[in-house]
A and B are shown apart, each in its own frame.
Chain A
Amino acid sequence: MERAQQGDEQAYRTLLEDVRPAVIAFLRRRITQPGELEDVAQDVLIALHRARHTYQPSRPFDPWLFGIARHVATDYVRRRVVRARRESAIPEGGLEQPILGDQAVGHDFERAWDQLSPIQREAVRLVHLEGLSLDEAAARAATTKGALKVRLHRALAAVRRVLLDGEPR
């Protein structure tokens, strides 16, 4: 980590790849949805990147890393609970009805929509339904552009699978 703080790109890449399995193992106890585990692990790597200047070379690395991982996971779970409450308050079909005219496609889309995680739904809603730019949508979702792109990519892949193959993930 010290070498990463000095700008050593190769050391940093190695570090990110090395810590990932430990982060995943740590998060597995906190994030129960396997589909969301990877998203949160990526958020932890982003957080590690943003906090790299706070690492104290005189102090051990593990408490620093897992402190960040715990915080990101806690925040994620808290946001998921808030979103779930908010979504349960929306009348069923309220969001899809005006957009989709064809009933059959609407039904398939609803099925695909149900497969998505809350953060993937939010990404699709902001970019494809509300028409925001990636920068605007990332700011609205309180995430980075890179992470938003990953969410969109996964969400659209899942929707495509259901619409074309009729198979959930």
Chain B
Amino acid sequence: MSEQRSGSRDELVAHLAADLRPVKPLNVVRLSAIWLAVQLGLVFMVAMAMPRPDIVQAAERPLFQGEMLALLFGGFCAGLLAVRAAVPGWEPGKTTTVAVLALGAIAMSLFVLEGMMPATLSQFVAAGWRCSAATLALAALPCGILALILRGGAPIAPVRAGLLAAAGGLFFAAAALRSTCPGDEALHLLVWHGIPVAGGVAVAGLVATRVLGRWWQRP
């Protein structure tokens, strides 16, 4: 039996050695830079093209500053850590992942502190659904880039990688929307800005194992 095993083991080693081709090491710095350039470019473009009319006054409010800071810093960290998750042994730990996602949760809790303004359901929906759609649309490209980087790597913590990749794109998208949407009402922000972010991150966590998990068995 051991002879048989050593035979198949030698066969496998010979097969893998014969299959060896030169490869370029995954350039984490370059890939991070590409993602960040696209991400910042997109946010800058949106913020410059359609700024909210009261952007100067809004930027002076500590609550708004806190929300933007949490989203931008959280998105920045999440994206960079997601790229690192493509390299075995360099993936961010659970605590780090939770800490980064907590920045998004902080932004959501700051939304709650914004004032409430009564509105009818139809007004609420009409004013809000576009914010959700725009958040998801804005996050699609950066999240797609991070997903491609992860698919091209070897993520050994696929759920964490998926959560961080989604958070990277969605936090930045939420920050961009915050700078264009004039709505400062707590319920509007929570439902139409917060839920797409939280939902997107949760869905990414759920599908990550299937999409990123068994990379060594892909054809």
**Closest residue of B by beta carbon distance from A47:** B216
CA distance in complex: A45, B20 (Å): 13
What sequence of 0s and 1s flags, for each residue 44-86 of chain A, a beta carbon within 8 Å of any chain B beta carbon?
0111011111111101101111111011100100000000000
Q: Does A51 contact B90, Cβ atoms closer than 8 Å?
A: no
- With A64-B87, A75-B214, A142-B217 known as contacts, the answer to whether A51 contacts B20 (CB < 8 A) is no
A87 to B: closest C-beta gap in Å: 20
B22 contact set on A, CB distance < 8 A: 5-7
- Asked if A117 is at the interface (CB within 8 A of a chain B CB), the reply is no
Q: Does A50 contact B154, Cβ atoms closer than 8 Å?
A: yes
CA distance in complex: A42, B6 (Å): 11
Q: Does A49 contact B25, Cβ atoms closer than 8 Å?
A: no
Which listed residue, A45, A65, A66, touches B12 by the CB 8 Å rule?
A: A45
CA distance in complex: A169, B14 (Å): 27
**Closest residue of B by beta carbon distance from A158:** B1
Q: Does B16 contact A51, Cβ atoms closer than 8 Å?
A: no
Chain B interface main SS type: loop
B91 contact set on A, CB distance < 8 A: 67
Interface residues in A, total, Cβ within 8 A: 51
**Closest residue of B by beta carbon distance from A53:** B23
Q: Does A64 contact B213, Cβ atoms closer than 8 Å?
A: no
Which residues 189-219 of B sit at the A interface, judged by CB distance below 8 A? 213-219
A42 to B: closest C-beta gap in Å: 5
Stretch in contact with the other chain, from A13-21, A25-33, A97-105, A125-133 = A13-21
Q: Does B90 contact A59, Cβ atoms closer than 8 Å?
A: yes
- Asked if B28 is at the interface (CB within 8 A of a chain A CB), the reply is yes
CA distance in complex: A5, B62 (Å): 51
A85 to B: closest C-beta gap in Å: 17
Q: Does A68 contact B154, Cβ atoms closer than 8 Å?
A: yes
- With A16-B16, A46-B16, A54-B154 known as contacts, the answer to whether A68 contacts B217 (CB < 8 A) is no
Known: A13-B14, A56-B28, A68-B89. 18 other contacts (CB 8 A): A4-B20, A7-B22, A12-B16, A13-B17, A38-B5, A47-B216, A49-B16, A49-B19, A50-B154, A50-B216, A54-B88, A60-B89, A64-B87, A67-B156, A72-B216, A75-B213, A146-B11, A153-B8
